[in-house]
Amino acid sequence: MLTDKLIQDVEPIIEEIYYDDFIQGLIRGDIEKSSVIHYLQADALYLDEFAKIYAMLIAKADSRETVKYLLGQMEFLFDGESEAHETLARSVDMPYEEIIEAGEWYPSADHYIKHMYYNVYAKENIAFTFSAMAPCPYVYKKIAQMVLERNTFENDHPYRSWFEFYNDDMDDTVDVMFDIINRESGNMTQKDITVLRKNFIQSTEHEKRFFNMAAIKERWMEVGVNA
Ligand SMILES: Cc1ncc(CN)c(N)n1
Interval 82-105: pLDDT, tens: 889 999 999 999 999 999 998 999
227 confidence band (pLDDT: 50, 70, 90): low
* Atom nearest to 139 CA in ligand 1: 4
* Atom nearest to 166 CA in ligand 1: 6
Closest residue (by CA) to atom 5 of ligand 1?
Answer: 136
Closest residue (by CA) to atom 3 of ligand 1?
Answer: 136
**What confidence score (pLDDT) does residue 149 get?**
97
Dihedral angle sign, alpha carbons of residues 160, 209, 38, 45: negative
- For range 45-67, the mean pLDDT: 93
Cβ of residue 210 lying under 6 Å from some atom of ligand 1: yes
| Domain covering 2-216 in this structure, CATH number | 1.20.910.10
Percentage of the chain surpassing pLDDT 70? 99
User: How far apart (Å, rounded) are the C-alpha atoms in residues 47 and 135?
Assistant: 14
CA–centroid distance, residue 180 to ligand 1 (Å): 20
173 confidence band (pLDDT: 50, 70, 90): confident
CA–centroid distance, residue 217 to ligand 1 (Å): 17
Domain boundaries, the chain: 2-216
CA–centroid distance, residue 192 to ligand 1 (Å): 26
Asked if residue 77 has pLDDT above 70, the reply is yes
Which residues participate in catalysis according to the annotation? 136, 207
Angstrom distances, CA of residue 74 to CA of 52, 78, 195: 8, 6, 26
**What confidence score (pLDDT) does residue 150 get?**
97
Cβ atoms of 181 and 196 closer than 8 Å: yes
